[in-house]
Amino acid sequence: MIESQSQQARPPLTVTELAFEIRRRLQPLAAVLVKGEVSGFRMTGKRNYSFAVRDRQSVISAFLYADDARRFPMLPEDGQEYILRGRIQFWPSGQLTLVVQEIQYDDVGKLRAQLEQLKHRLEAEGAFEASRKRRIPFLPRRVALITSPTGAVIHDLQETILDRFPNMDITVYPAVVQGVASPGSVVMALRRCNDDGQADVVVIARGGGSFEELYAFNTEPVARAILASRIPVVTALGHTSDRTVADMVADAECRTPTEAGARVVPRKADLVRQLDEREARLRRALGTRLEREAERLAARTERLGRVPQALTERRTERLRRFVNELARLRPTDQLQRRQRDLAERGQRLQAAGGRALQAAAQTLADRERRLAALSPDGVLARGYALALDGDSGRLLRAASETEPGRRVRVRLGRGALRTLVEEIE
């Protein structure tokens, strides 16, 4: 009875005072871990999210601010179980809510199973085949970088590229590379790069992270965007363990941004040195070639200089043999030889009988007349002529064996003529 009077003596609390007292009492629950299944996940008007977290016996409402959601690699899905870190908040509206600040993916195995399904689907399409991948240009005119515009990654990439090739053109396409907005941001940046069409190669980079932090690069939209790119794509996601789907469909993959920078551009100093070495080799080869050609030309000139003399000697030798042959076949010489033979025979015949000698003498006379008529001198004496080439002395048997402008020696029965051919009939 006394207690009842004491309670009646306390003034009643206003609703606001009661709400404040509840929030004060809930302060020890400012950082709690709750494991449960998400349901009713939806976006509110200000891009915040509301949902419920439940187990078999109880349910509590939950709230996720947009700024916190952007830090997550993916948003919660209905029916999936998560470990949620946050604080208990009592709203003036009278609702008790778990305000989520971090999500731990308790069922990572399920995420990996979904990832394996995506890999099998892309593999069946031939997306991982080496024959499909585009060649990285040896010396691009412009390099595109898709990464966060702040942080060490963009600095490392630019420093590596410009250190290797100081005047290389670089275009940065800023993108969110972590959190729920990352897949869409990377896809949009890659599309802008292709629409511009100015880069010869594009590097997609970030500074590594856990499986969950890299999950954006295991999503199908990012993989499809890389496959659809007309520009060769190099990934540099900074991981050292599992390959992402983005790595597997990219035209080339690197472990770090520094490695990617070295992969897409050669070292200019090396190129200049190689060009100098090749120029030196070409000059040496050209010099050697010119020396050989000069020696060959000198030898040919020397041989050509000896040709007229050798030709004259050969023609002189041929003419000498021809003259000797003519001399051997001269009818006068043959006649003299025969006369001697006949004289000897006549003497023998004379001893045998006078009439036989006379007959033989008559026959000899007849033959002498016929032989004289058939000899070259006899033929020439009857008005015929022999035409000899004026240079070689070769006997001409047909008009086609000489040509206008050539000198011809014409041998007659008495004497000879030297003429110049004006026309051939």
pLDDT over 70 (residue 107): no
At residue 1 the predicted structure's pLDDT band, cuts being 50, 70 and 90, is: very low
Question: How does pLDDT run across 4-33, given as a tens digit for each residue?
Answer: 555 556 788 777 777 777 767 777 677 888
Domain boundary among 77, 106, 135: 106
Mean pLDDT of 255-265: 93
pLDDT of residue 163: 94
pLDDT of residue 347: 72
pLDDT over 80 (residue 187): yes
pLDDT of residue 258: 92
> What's CA 164's distance to the chain center, in Å?
22
DSSP secondary structure string, 280-294?
Answer: HHHHHHHHHHHHHHH
Domain check: are 23 and 126 in the same one? Answer: no
> How open is the CA angle 166-171-173, to the nearest 5 degrees?
145
At residue 193 the predicted structure's pLDDT band, cuts being 50, 70 and 90, is: very high
pLDDT over 90 (residue 314): no
Q: Does any domain span residue 204?
A: yes
Calculate what percentage of the chain has a pLDDT beyond 70: 86
Q: Edge to edge, what strands does the sheet with 416-420 contain?
A: 386-389, 407-411, 416-420
Domain check: are 9 and 123 in the same one? Answer: no
Domain hosting 88: range is 2-106
Selected residue with higher pLDDT from 376 and 258 = 258
Place of tokens 């009857």: 382
Q: Does any domain span residue 158?
A: yes
Q: Does any domain span residue 190?
A: yes
Domain check: are 130 and 260 in the same one? Answer: yes
Q: Does any domain span residue 47?
A: yes
Selected residue with higher pLDDT from 207 and 254 = 254
Q: Does any domain span residue 363?
A: no
CA atoms in the 13 A half-sphere facing the CB of 380:
14
> What's CA 127's distance to the chain center, in Å?
23
> What's CA 367's distance to the chain center, in Å?
94
Domain check: are 73 and 124 in the same one? Answer: no
Question: How does pLDDT run across 28-80, given as a tens digit for each residue?
Answer: 677 888 888 888 889 887 889 999 999 888 888 999 998 888 777 677 878 77
Domain of residue 256, CATH code: 3.40.50.10550
Domain check: are 146 and 100 in the same one? Answer: no
pLDDT of residue 357: 61
Q: What is the mean pLDDT of the chain?
A: 83
Domain check: are 137 and 261 in the same one? Answer: yes
Domain check: are 159 and 260 in the same one? Answer: yes
Nearest Cα neighbor of 391 from 315, 308, 309, 314 is 315
Question: How does pLDDT run across 263-279, given as a tens digit for each residue?
Answer: 999 999 998 898 889 98
At residue 137 the predicted structure's pLDDT band, cuts being 50, 70 and 90, is: very high
Q: Does any domain span residue 398?
A: yes
- Spell out the residues 6+ positions from residue 53 whose beta carbon is closer than 8 angstroms to its own: 34, 36, 37, 38, 59, 60, 61, 62, 84, 98
Domain check: are 120 and 234 in the same one? Answer: yes
pLDDT over 50 (residue 2): no
How many CB atoms within 10 Å of residue 220? 13
Mean pLDDT of 210-226: 87
Q: Does any domain span residue 371?
A: no
Q: Residue 60 has which token pair?
A: 């509590």
Q: Edge to edge, what strands does the sheet with 169-174 contain?
A: 169-174, 142-147, 201-205, 233-236, 252-254
- Secondary structure percentages of the chain, helix, strand, coil, to 5: 50, 20, 30
Domain of residue 30, CATH code: 2.40.50.140
Whether pTM > 0.85 for this model: the answer is no
> How open is the CA angle 118-119-123, to the nearest 5 degrees?
120
Phi, psi of 185, rounded to the nearest 5 degrees = -65, -45
Asked which of 164-173, 342-351, 385-394 is least confident by mean pLDDT, the reply is 342-351
Asked which of 66-80, 123-137, 369-383 is least confident by mean pLDDT, the reply is 369-383
Domain boundary among 57, 89, 106: 106
Q: Does any domain span residue 15?
A: yes
User: Into how many domains does the chain fold?
Assistant: 3
Domain check: are 55 and 96 in the same one? Answer: yes
Selected residue with higher pLDDT from 299 and 407 = 407
Residue type, 402: T
Domain boundary among 212, 241, 266: 266
Domain check: are 42 and 115 in the same one? Answer: no
Domain check: are 247 and 147 in the same one? Answer: yes
Asked which of 95-99, 165-169, 205-209, 308-312 is least confident by mean pLDDT, the reply is 308-312
Domain check: are 34 and 102 in the same one? Answer: yes
